[in-house]
Structure 1
Amino acid sequence: MSQDSLIFTPDDVDLARSPLRRSLSVPTYVLGAFNPGMTRLPNGNLLLMVRVAEALSEPVEDDHVRAIRWTPAGYVLDDHPLAGVNMSDPRQFDVGGGNYRMLALTSLSWLLPVEITPDGRGIVAIHYDKAIEPAAPYQCYGVEDARITRIGDRWYMTTCSVAPERHSTTLHVSEDGLNYRLLGIVLDHQNKDMILFEGLVGGKFLALTRPLGEVYFAYPHDSEWMGGPSINLAQSPDALHWKPLDQPFLRPRKGATSSMKLGGGSQPILTPDGWLMIYHGVETRQKVGIYRSFWALLDRDEPWRVLRLEDKEPLLEANAALTAPIAQQLYLPTEVVFTTGIADAGDHYVVASGEADLACRITHIPKARFA
């Protein structure tokens, strides 16, 4: 039986210590503190790398809506004329007038390292001095959704970096799991869920990827698969230069609970039975959709071979009881659980997720659940 709790919420963020405070004086609030990458530190504690989405308290001023942007000189506000702007989604707004759909964000995301107890039930320290904020033009609209993998004596953290020029995947590395340095862009197309396997395969780094596009092509009518965003694999000699594998990997399957799109969740970890990965599937529903977590077991030596795929019975679903005490902070009617990390804890796994795009959830899942 799984055990759930919220470990970190927007109320736990001290915005007086936000990196934005150095150059932005207007009032802000935490739209969400969620989607935490997770790893175990050398001292045995767990580290959550929490995405803090910081938003303007008053985004509309006169006849303009404002967005936060990083520059080398500090954070600034950009004014967009309200005429033609669609603000129905509190996370973003559509800017009209171009040949393509253009979005601006109502918040800017940065990453906050939160050290928690080995069982994931208590907070040890919040490391504001080690927060990760935009540091380059390709991150001027924020750094999002960290995923952390330890390989040998080094920690590798992928993040999504947002800018007008590209929506890219960036790589940070650490020698202690807590202090990270940015190595730059590793994938320059929109790819929301790049996650490294926790170990080399055939002497090479292996990663889950999930490139997005505007057009998908149909499978034959009698195929078991459905077109749409799916999970691919890529390999690299150095974690910087990546070659996609030719064969398809996890694709939306007809009859599955959530087949609108698939994407990576936790870092794949090696078990006696093969590589265990938790991923998310989305069911079409209203604006955001319903996000659930599923799992798959992959061959130890050939991870592109799927030994077991559990895509009908969810491993995790959104739990409204968890967010009930902070329900007034919910900004969308969402049913979202977005798994982002896993750690071995003996007879069970500690699993980290984002809950309702609002807070950080910890779940204890017995290993017997994956038998």
Structure 2
Amino acid sequence: MIAIKKEGILLEKTNFTFENEGVLNPAVIRVGEEVHIFYRAVRQGNHSTIGYCKLKDPLTVSERADTPLLFPQFDYESKGLEDPRIVKIDDLYYLTYTAYDGTTASGALATSSDLVHFEKKGLIVSQIKYNDFINLAECREELNEKYERYNSLNTILWSKDLVFFPRKINNKFHFLHRVKPDIQIVAVNDLAELTTEFWQNYFLHFDDYIVLAPKYDHEVSYVGGGCPPIETKSGWLLIYHGVHDTVNGYVYVGCAALLDLENPLKEIARLPYALITPESEWELKGDVSNVCFPTGTAVFGDTLYIYYGAGDDVIASASVSLSALLTELLSHKTA
């Protein structure tokens, strides 16, 4: 098994009103020797905004904002901005997040050229009702019964964990999203293509776009997108989250897989065990207990730093040898 080092808690809640309930699930991007972190900040009443801090190295905070960077401005995000991720494609930063309006949670996008000023682009996932989705998605064959178990029949389909690949592949934007219980992928030449008609056709062929489905015991309940994929010579390294049910509730763990560089629908390898599991007090007990929820990474030399929400309460980090992780993954190639 691969050796991973828990680096401990990086950020905790403060007395500032916007983050007095907890901080978690950060978007992370390295620029030069600094690391920029955009995190979910929760105030009492479970209202989320996106806070900001900067690290001078992988583990040392040098700057932290005392007000949220992004906050609700539109109806589709009126009850919160949650779980951001960030990548840079060409000269533009793409920050995705889950917009929650009190009923529906959907993937949204904001862009920036300087990591200071962000322009919200709105929701970029479908707003189809679940019943309409299932009528389209089951035109060829029935879906896994878990789709009905995890999705409400009479509301808009929840599509969360929106994560862009950090470059275009074959001149197309690629992003992951998650309709429980699997991780799906979208590829378009231009984001303007994401129309109602696009999504209707996409759902007609929905089973063709499932990238990862639950496979092992530690992810048997469902899987979801985690950190933006990391390009390596061996493939796209994907750190994602897996969930399994226990008598004490769900347990969230960090997982790892490799996807093909030119066709990320193709799974090359997957760890048969969890990479990050709840062990420490701040992971085992929190607003939601038994949670390690990875959402961002930074690579320094051969060290991969993984940043994750722990217990839905604090932000922690772990580190692992990138080369060792790739070697371990390639010893578990997908048949």
Superimposed CA distance per residue, residues 179-232 of structure 1 (whole angstroms, 9 cap, x where no aligned partner): 3221111113411211001111110010111124xxxxxxxxxxxxxxxx1001
The CA deviation at 1:131 is 1.3
Instruction: Give 1:357 shift.
Output: 0.6
Q: C-alpha deviations, 1:271-301, integer Å up to 9, x for none?
A: 0111110111101125750001111111111
Q: Does 1:210 align with 2:210?
A: no
Would you say 1:250 and 2:212 are equivalent positions? yes
Unaligned runs of 5+ in 2: 128-156, 328-335
Contact 2:245–2:251 (8 Å) recurs in 1: yes
Q: CA 1:315–1:194 in structure 2 vs 1: closer, same or farther (change >3 Å)?
A: same
- The corresponding residue for 1:320 is 280
Decide which of 24, 27, 30 is 1:37's aligned counterpart: 27
Q: Kindly state the Cα deviation for residue 158 of structure 1 after the two structures are TM-superposed.
A: 0.7
Partner of 2:54: 115
Alpha carbons 1:48, 1:115 under 8 Å: kept: yes
Structure 2: how far apart are the matches of 1:288 and 1:38? 29
Which residue of 301, 304, 326 corresponds with 2:265? 304
> C-alpha separation between the residues in 1 aligned to 2:263 and 2:175?
13
Contact 1:200 1:206 in 2 (8 A): yes
Matched, 1:194 2:162: yes
Question: Does structure 1 residue 125 correspond to structure 2 residue 89?
Answer: no
CA 1:51–1:247 in structure 2 vs 1: closer, same or farther (change >3 Å)?
Answer: closer
3-state SS, counterpart of residue 284 of structure 1: strand
Counterpart in 1 of 2:254?
Answer: 293
Amino acid at match of 1:30: N
Corresponding residue number in structure 2 for 1:370 = 326
Q: CA deviation at 1:360?
A: 0.5
Residue segments in structure 1 that go unaligned for 5+ positions in a row: 19-28, 56-105, 213-228
CA RMSD of superposed structures (Å): 2.1
1:7-18 maps to which residues of 2 (within 5 A)? 7-10=10-13, 13-15=14-16, 18=18
Aligned partner (choices 341, 345, 350) of residue 296 of structure 2: 341
Checking the alignment, whether the CA contact within 8 Å between 1:279 and 1:295 is kept in structure 2 is yes
State the partner residue of 2:311. Answer: 356
1:276 corresponds, among 237, 241, 244, to: 237
Q: Deviations along 1:108-154, whole A, 9 cap, x unmatched?
A: 000101111232x1111113456110010111111100011111221
Indicate the SS of the match to 1:138. Answer: helix
Looking at structure 2, the residues matched to 199 and 152 of structure 1 have their Cα atoms a distance apart, in angstroms, of 7
Determine whether 1:139 maps to 2:101: no
TM-score (norm 1): 0.71
- Specify the SS of the correspondent of 1:132: coil
Residue 235 of structure 1 corresponds to which residue in structure 2? 187
Cα separation, partners in 2 of 1:134 and 1:362, compared to 1, 3 Å:
same
1:303 partner SS: coil
Structure 1 or 2: more helix by fraction: 2
Match of residue 68 from structure 1: none
Counterpart amino acid of residue 151 in structure 1 = I
Q: Is the 8 A contact 1:113 1:178 kept in 2?
A: no
Q: 1:349 to 1:131 in 2, by over 3 A?
A: same
- Structure 1 residues 40-70: Cα deviation after superposition (integer angstroms, max 9, x where no partner): 13x4311111111101xxxxxxxxxxxxxxx
Q: 3-state SS of the aligned residue for 2:291?
A: strand
User: Distance in 2 between the 1:195 and 1:130 partners?
Assistant: 21
Q: Is structure 2 residue 8 aligned with structure 1 residue 2?
A: no
In the alignment, what sits opposite 1:86? none
SS, match of residue 48 in structure 2? strand
How many angstroms does 1:354 deviate by? 0.4
Counterpart-to-counterpart distance in 2, 1:135 and 1:287: 37
Checking the alignment, whether the CA contact within 8 Å between 1:34 and 1:355 is kept in structure 2 is yes
CA distance in 2, matches of 1:141, 1:289: 24
- Distance in structure 2 (CA, Å) of the matches to 1:151 and 1:287: 41
| C-alpha deviation, 1:234, in angstroms | 0.5
Correspondence 1:28-67 to 2 at 5 A = 30-41=20-31, 43-55=32-44
TM-score, normalised with respect to structure 2:
0.79
Corresponding residue SS for 1:210: strand
In the alignment, is the contact (CA less than 8 A) between 2:244 and 2:250 conserved in 1?
A: yes
Aligned partners of 1:5 and 1:322 also within 8 Å: no
Instruction: Give 2:23's aligned amino acid.
Output: A
Report how far residue 256 of structure 1 moved: 3.1
Aligned positions, number: 283
8 A Cα contact 1:279 1:294, kept in partner: yes
Q: Is the 8 A contact 2:4 2:275 kept in 1?
A: no
Q: 1:14 to 1:142 in 2, by over 3 A?
A: same
Q: Secondary structure at the match of 1:370?
A: helix
Given that 1:154 and 1:177 are in contact with CA atoms closer than 8 Å, whether structure 2 keeps it comes out as no
Instruction: Give the greater-gyration-radius structure (CA).
Output: 1
Partner of 2:315, secondary structure, is: strand
SS in 2 for 1:51: strand
